[in-house]
Amino acid sequence: MQCAKVIETLPAYLDNALELGRSVELERHVETCAECRRELEQSRELKRNISTAAYHRAPDSLRLAIAKNLAREQAQPVAEPSPVKRTIFRPAAAGFGLAASMTLAFMLGWALKPAASGADTELLDAHLRSLQGEHLTDVASSDRHTVKPWFNGKLEFAPAVADYDAQGFTLKGGRLDYLNSRPACVLVYQRRRHIINVFIQPVADAEFSHASRNGFNIQTFQKNGLNYWLVSDLNPQELAELGQLLNTAK
């Protein structure tokens, strides 16, 4: 990858919107190019400074209401968006300027970010990010024989994929995401109107725990050398049911 291409794709890389192959290519280039590595660190620092700037913090009740409304709308198709939605979200899909896109993303991120820390925050951010736009799934299907092969060649492990529709958890599809700067498989399930993101990644040093933040729940377990994290606004009891199904699957 040439330096000019690296600089061009840095915003998408920092937003975890770059496809896995290009992300790996960029990371390999940055390892050997001091100038591009400096550009990456400066861009990362700028994004961090903007996201932590002293804006007025939205009340917890507002952030929770916005996040839950987004989750409900993602779970059920809408024939025609309201004028407000056209104003806020359609420009992002239509590809307006990079500066405007980043400003909107930071504003929404500040309003929606739960009061969490460390790894729990990263999981919640990834969950909320998937509900805000059009990237809930890279492969949208309830057929595990369609979802599982889609991950072939994109990950260093083969995730087990199952549909538990009979138990009330419908498979919606899957996507690639990043946790702790490493690629992760995400399986997406739905229970009534609740979206559940199941993040899967090889066991590493990062410590993720069971947590509850502003109505969102995180549950985790390890199996066959993989970490599983379930994130949703579904109540902890029902979320644990899906965790048990995944943990006991052959």
CATH number reported for the structural domain that contains residue 69 in this entry:
3.30.200.100
Q: What is the enclosing helix (H) or strand (E) of 218?
A: strand 216-223
Looking at residue 30, its pLDDT comes to: 86
**In terms of residue numbers, what domain contains 24?**
3-51
If asked whether residues 180 and 68 sit together in one domain, one would say: yes
Is residue 122 domain-shared with residue 191, that is, in the same domain?
A: yes
- Enter the pTM of the model: 0.55
Q: How many domains does the chain have?
A: 2
Let me know whether 110 and 21 are in one domain. no
Output the pLDDT for position 146. Answer: 96
Instruction: State whether 114 and 98 are in the same domain.
Output: yes
Q: What's the confidence (pLDDT) of residue 192?
A: 94
Statement to judge: residues 141 and 94 lie in one domain: yes
DSSP 211: E
Identify whether residues 195 and 139 lie together within a single domain: yes
Answer whether 208's CB lies under 8 Å from 123's CB.
yes
Contacts 24+ apart (CB under 8 A), 178-184: 178/16, 178/23, 178/126, 179/119, 179/122, 179/123, 179/126, 179/206, 180/119, 180/122, 180/204, 180/206, 183/20, 183/23, 183/154, 183/155
12: left (phi over 0), alpha (psi -120 to 50) or beta: alpha
pLDDT at site 87:
39
The answer on 89 and 113 residing in a single domain is yes
Q: Say what the pLDDT of residue 135 is.
A: 81
Measure the CA–CA gap between 66 and 108, rounded to whole angstroms: 10
**Tokens matching residue 176:** 């690639």
Question: Are residues 40 and 122 part of one domain?
Answer: no
Distance of alpha carbon 135 from alpha carbon 174, whole angstroms: 10
Per-residue model confidence as pLDDT tens for the chain (250 residues)? 788 888 888 888 887 777 777 888 888 888 899 888 888 888 887 767 665 544 445 565 666 667 666 666 666 654 554 444 433 334 334 343 444 444 444 344 333 333 344 567 888 888 998 988 668 999 999 999 999 999 999 999 999 999 999 999 999 999 999 888 889 999 999 999 999 999 999 987 555 556 777 789 999 999 999 999 999 999 999 999 999 999 998 7
Q: Are residues 194 and 213 in the same domain?
A: yes
pLDDT of residue 107: 42
* SS3 category, 110: helix
Q: Would you say 86 and 41 are in contact if contact means Cβ atoms under 8 Å apart?
A: no
Q: Which tokens go with 209?
A: 């725990």
Residues 154 and 250 in one domain: yes
Q: How many CB atoms lie within 10 A of CB 8?
A: 11
Query: Is residue 100 domain-shared with residue 15, that is, in the same domain?
Result: no
Handedness of CA 47, 122, 154, 201 (dihedral sign): positive
Verify that 99 and 183 share a domain, yes or no: yes
CB 69 within 8 A of CB 195: no
